[in-house]
Structures are given as structure tokens and as C-alpha cells.
Amino acid sequence: MSLTIPGLHHVTAISGPAQANVDFFTGILKQRLVKKTVNFDAPDTYHLYYGNKAAEPGTILTFFPFADAGPGRAGAGMAAAYAYAVPQGKFDGWMDELAENAVDFHGPKDRFGARVIVLRDPDGAPVELVETDRTTDAPLDGFHSVTLWEDDIAPTARLITDHFGWEELGHERQNGTERLRLRAPGNNRGAVVDILRSDDPSIGRQGAGTIHHVAFRARDDAEQLEWQEKLQTAGFDVTNVRDRQYFNAIYFREPGGVLFEIATDPPGFAADEDPAHLGEALKLPPQYEGIRDKLERVLPPLKVA
């Protein structure tokens, strides 16, 4: 069987103040805070992870919250949006609940035959909810998709079809934009990527409310090394493996400029914390345990509703 990417592992974004971020994702969107750690490259800043109850790959949204971050803006060469999968029969309930709680949203609108609504997080970033036929008791079933904004759809599409092993699912054009949908084999979470080209001349800028990178799944370390070799052979500049404590990671830029990561499923978020108490304590990588007291004084306290 040829090597394929089964779907998204996580999406990482940039936000403003951490507490507002926690309130929105654990409160409004009913996600679990599954890990409270620090940015490995800037340990005086949190790295927050949200996911489903079991903290499974394909459900994980992470943030670098910077209290003084300037506003960002999506544009070509960036990931523009992520979408959560709404389980079968729960889409109307979500619209009713958002309206009852005075949470503004746009839609519903049709996209590739499914209803979609779009709300905004505290930093103005779009959060899409897509109606699906998946069945689960959870309010949301992890990721449905991520949208990449590109000047040219074709090179990125070739990477995802020819190398990742995904297939084209559909093509839509509307109001000066075109959207190509690609899907991974199987029925995994986060198995859809939309590639968007727009006549909008917006120039992207990283900042609060933007996506930093998109991570895809490798089932284990051996498979990740296969991807590293395969992508390097294809001419991509792929990093060495980096230990992120809950997964190992490699990074590269896709042809349009979006930062892609391939992350391993293991060891997972229960590697240093009881599954029943994920996200409750500040967890630090070994290199920062010696300055724990300092970091706990600098990092603002967080309250989960």
C-alpha cells in the first residue's frame, strides 16, 4: 500500500490575551483544554491545546497567545480558516444556541452540498462549522477541513494529490473566488483541504487572528521518517525531526508558502498527565523545569469555565 497522509493532526494559530481565548473555545465551542504548556521557543508565552475529550489527533487546535499581539490578516500564502465538523442532527441546534447566547454568525450557506456557518473568535479569526453525516455524542467531531489561500491552486494541489495521496472532490467558483476540495482516503477526522484562490488583493500578515501552521498526521515515527525522505527527494526543504513532547514534528513550506508540519500520533497528550486531568496543570518540557517558578510568576493565571 502506498504511503498516504490520513488527515490533519492539528492546527496552530496566534491569538491575543489567553483568558479570552480559553473562554471562547472551552465555553462557546465546548472544546476541552487538553494541554497547558509553553511556547518551546518563547517560554514566557503559553501554548494552549484544545481538543475533544480524548485529545485525539484531528481534533487539536493550538494557540500561541500574545497579550500585546497586533492584529493579523489572512492572505495568499497563508492558511485562511479551519472548520469543525458538526455531527449529524446537531447543526440547527448549534445555530439556535449561538443565537440564544448572542454570538453572531454568518450563514448558513452551501459549500459542496453541505451547510456552513462562520463565527469569529475573540481576535476576529473565522471559525467555520460544517454540517456532516458523522455520528457522535460530542458537540463537535474535531476538524472537518482547513482552507489554504493561494495565488495559484495547481502547485499546492499537486503536492497534496501526488505526494499525500489525496483525491480531488470538487471545484466551485463564486463571487471572484474559486475553491478546490481535496480529500484523504478513508473517513478520518480532518480529511479535507480546501484550496482557495481569490481576486481579493489582500496581503497577508501574521498576527492575532491568523493561522501559524497546519499539521498533518504520521501514524508513527517510522512513517514520519518516510515522509521526510519522500519530501526531500521531491525537492522540499524539510527540517530535522523536532521533539514536541506530545508528538515529533517535521516542517516544510508547501509551494504557495504555507508552513506545513507532519506530526506523529504518539506519544499523545497523556504522556505526562492523567487522561482525566488533561490541561489542569502547567506542563513544561524538561529544559524549562529549572525556571518553573519564574514562568509561573510571568504567565497569567487561567480559569476554565
Q: What is the pLDDT of residues 243-261, one digit of tens each?
A: 999 999 999 999 999 999 9
Calculate mean pLDDT across residues 106-112: 97
Percent of the chain with pLDDT over 70: 100
pTM for the structure as a whole: 0.96
Q: Which phi and psi angles does 197 have, rounded to 5°?
A: -120, 135
Q: Which long-range contacts (CB under 8 A, 24 or more apart) does 166-172 make?
A: 166/4, 166/5, 166/193, 169/112, 170/112, 172/111, 172/112
Residue 261 near residue 215, CB atoms below 8 Å: yes
**1 pLDDT above the threshold of 60:** no
Amino acid 296: pLDDT = 95
Amino acid 172: pLDDT = 95
DSSP letter assigned to residue 185:
S
Q: How far is CA 54 from CA 13, 49, 64, in A?
A: 21, 12, 22
CA distance 270 to 35: 9
Closest CA to 82 of 62, 103, 54, 53: 62
Mean pLDDT of the chain: 96
Residue 183 near residue 166, CB atoms below 8 Å: yes
**200 pLDDT above the threshold of 90:** no
The pLDDT-based confidence of 119 (bands split at 50, 70, 90) is very high
CA 172 to chain centre: 23
Amino acid 187: pLDDT = 86
CA distance 79 to 19: 24
Amino acid 29: pLDDT = 98
Calculate mean pLDDT across residues 143-170: 97
Write down the residue that cell numbers 476540495 correspond to. 181
The number of beta carbons lying within 10 Å of the beta carbon of residue 25 is 23
Calculate mean pLDDT across residues 220-242: 98
